Structure 1
Amino acid sequence: MAKLSVVGSINVDHVMQVNKAPCGGQTIEAKHYQIVAGGKGANQAVAAAKLGADVAMIACVGMDAVGEQMKQGLADMGINIDGVTAISDENTGLAMIYVEDSGENRIGIWPGANGALTEAVIAEYKTTIEGSELLLLQLETPIKSLTLAAKFAKAAGVKVVLNPAPAKELPDALLRNVDIITPNETEAELLTGITIKVLSDASLAAKKLHERFGIEMVLITLGKRGVWLSHKGEGLHIEGFNVDAVDTTAAGDTFNGGFVVGLLEGKSVLDSVRFGQAAAALSVTRIGAQSSIPTRIETLNLAL
């Protein structure tokens, strides 16, 4: 059994580099275009695998050439793809991404086969989840299915990490089965109603997540400002790495992948966060999603 199970999305990303994303009614010419593997679930699975974890992926792709290519790419990374199901009469999920010169991005997603990751599919791989040490979730697949996966994990004593992205309202039934949650500022505000402008706001948001849902650990990612880490109400600010960003696509996914690798290897929470931060910092200096994820050696060299 893999130590890490990832339940989530698999997309093919169409990426255009532009000076600035177009306004309404405007047509622009891109400086560069490429098609790359993506999807928050797949990105986090690949990040964890590249950084040293034994990973199993539970997901859905279309019964199309792109889906087969995405599956093969995961397998080439050493990821167990037994739980990746091809859905007939459906296409693999897709994301259209504008990457601006500033490194910021604008993303539109069509879920495709990701929407077919039903509770029935999750139930097929219950033993995979229960046999893991940690379950990693995101929000590009049906919430009911994620809730069931978290329930299976919690009942089996498997630690549940939720990256609540992209931001959306979540049911208590999911959040009460989460051990660690890793929102960014926008996601934390949606979950708590607290706008995060200064570190004291992050502390208040974390405490609300602790108190309302019983979540043991909260990591609020703050971009260049680093991470606010709160464990059972005790907060700590961890500064980030200073790098020149080229493309921020999958930075959060890379952080989450690196962070859970640290936990699985028995690192302290602080060292696990730093490992995730180092991986994310390196990823934003490169174009793409999975293609930007650094190697374990590169990450260790920066983190030390």
Structure 2
Amino acid sequence: MISVFGSANMDLVAYVSHAPHLGETVTGRAFRTIPGGKGANQAIAAARAGGDVAFLGAVGDDGFGAQMRATLTDAGIDVKGLREVPGPSGIAHIVVDDDGGNSIIVVPGANGTVTGPSGDDLAMIAGSQALLLQLELPMAAVIGAAQAAQVSGAPVILTPAPSQPLPAELLDAVTLLVPNEHEAADLTGLTDPDAALAELLTLVPEAVITLGAKGALYGSRDGERLRVPAVPVKAVDTTAAGDTFVGALAVARAEGLPPGEALHFASTAASIAVRREGASTSMPTRAEIDEALA
């Protein structure tokens, strides 16, 4: 079982030729509401990639919350740990341009009420092969979940997004850190990915820096270093690329694949996702990943 302790948002996605500058109005070509949130996205990515997944988090008592629960359930995810709280669910306002780039505003809603893992959450985490974490829940809650996994021996995979300083008590519990190149630079003050990777390995045992079209870098404290190229594709929407990568990577690691193969599996999954619009709706199935690998 892979546990995901994280955010569930409804993505409100506008597609435009270019993102508006401050004070500018642009006309969009389409609008969609798509279940998302970094936590839910990673859970769905892992489930579609073949993982046995449980989601732990919160939604509001509104229509978006009901839709999020149904989406996770339909993906085959255990949602016993998905709480319903009074008030609105989290939302993300996303602008996607014609090059596939995006800008995002997140309003936490129900996610902001999660102050830490419940007793049932702790039991689920303790029995997990891995715990996936992001930073769209309050930091105290993220730390509490990470420390629970550390006590039980479950590996902790952290996506440090949205980018912010990481407390020592969180880093001490992390097994694998997966920032993109901008987040890695924020954490280390180093813009060169190789130098940033070396610095990250002073903080955590393993790290992967995703580099978009340039692939990914992996390193571990035992000295292993890998550079995995991206699968060349024409990106339509990169919104879900990172979450798809992490969800698929967690599945590959749970299945015992060595780092190089696990990274190639994750990169292949992400390459399929960016060719489609949306976040959770773009994530590939295991059959699609296996076909692309073949």
- Which category of TM-score, normalised to the shorter sequence, fits these structures? over 0.9
Which residue of 2 is the match for residue 19 of structure 1?
A: 17
Which residue of 1 is the match for residue 244 of structure 2?
A: 254
Which residue of 1 is the match for residue 132 of structure 2?
A: 136
Which residue of 1 is the match for residue 107 of structure 2?
A: 110
The equivalences for 1:119-198 within 5 A come to 119=116, 121-195=117-191
Equivalent AA in structure 2 for residue 102 of structure 1 = D
- Once residues 112 and 221 of structure 1 are traced to their aligned partners in structure 2, the CA distance between those partners, rounded to angstroms, is 29
Which residue of 2 is the match for residue 75 of structure 1?
A: 73
Over the residues paired in the alignment, what is the CA RMSD in angstroms?
1.0
The Cα shift of 1:124 comes to 4.1
Equivalent AA in structure 1 for residue 193 of structure 2 = A
- 1:217 paired to 2:206: yes
Paired residues of 1:16 and 1:34 also in contact (CA < 8 A): yes
- 1:245 paired to 2:232: no
Equivalent AA in structure 2 for residue 92 of structure 1 = S
- 1:204 paired to 2:201: no
The Cα shift of 1:294 comes to 1.0
The Cα shift of 1:123 comes to 4.2
The Cα shift of 1:297 comes to 1.1
- Once residues 118 and 150 of structure 2 are traced to their aligned partners in structure 1, the CA distance between those partners, rounded to angstroms, is 14
Equivalent AA in structure 2 for residue 103 of structure 1 = G
1:122–1:187 Cα change, 3 Å? farther
Percent identity of paired positions between Structure 1 and Structure 2: 42
- Once residues 286 and 202 of structure 1 are traced to their aligned partners in structure 2, the CA distance between those partners, rounded to angstroms, is 28
The Cα shift of 1:26 comes to 1.6
Equivalent AA in structure 2 for residue 217 of structure 1 = E
Paired residues of 2:226 and 2:260 also in contact (CA < 8 A): no
Paired residues of 1:262 and 1:275 also in contact (CA < 8 A): yes
Which runs of no fewer than 5 residues in structure 1 stay unpaired? 196-200
Equivalent AA in structure 2 for residue 183 of structure 1 = P
- Once residues 178 and 250 of structure 2 are traced to their aligned partners in structure 1, the CA distance between those partners, rounded to angstroms, is 11
Structure 1 SS opposite 2:201? helix
Paired residues of 2:90 and 2:106 also in contact (CA < 8 A): yes
- Once residues 117 and 53 of structure 1 are traced to their aligned partners in structure 2, the CA distance between those partners, rounded to angstroms, is 25
Equivalent AA in structure 2 for residue 202 of structure 1 = P
Which residue of 2 is the match for residue 57 of structure 1?
A: 55
Please report the TM-score for the alignment, with normalisation by the length of structure 1: 0.94
- Once residues 246 and 143 of structure 1 are traced to their aligned partners in structure 2, the CA distance between those partners, rounded to angstroms, is 32
Write out per-residue CA displacement over residues 33-57 of structure 1, whole angstroms, 9 at most, x where no aligned residue.
1111010000000000011000000
Which residue of 1 is the match for residue 257 of structure 2?
A: 267
Write out per-residue CA displacement over residues 195-225 of structure 1, whole angstroms, 9 at most, x where no aligned residue.
1xxxxx32221221222x2x11110001111
Moved more, 281-290 or 202-211: 202-211
Paired residues of 1:228 and 1:238 also in contact (CA < 8 A): yes
Aligned length: 293
Instruction: Could you list the structure 1 runs, at least 4 aligned residues long, displaced by more than 3 angstroms after superposition.
Output: 121-124
Which residue of 1 is the match for residue 266 of structure 2?
A: 276
- Once residues 169 and 133 of structure 1 are traced to their aligned partners in structure 2, the CA distance between those partners, rounded to angstroms, is 27
- Once residues 227 and 67 of structure 2 are traced to their aligned partners in structure 1, the CA distance between those partners, rounded to angstroms, is 41
Which residue of 2 is the match for residue 286 of structure 1?
A: 276
Write out per-residue CA displacement over residues 4-25 of structure 1, whole angstroms, 9 at most, x where no aligned residue.
0000000001111100011122
The Cα shift of 1:234 comes to 2.8
Which residue of 1 is the match for residue 6 of structure 2?
A: 8
Structure 2 SS opposite 1:242? coil
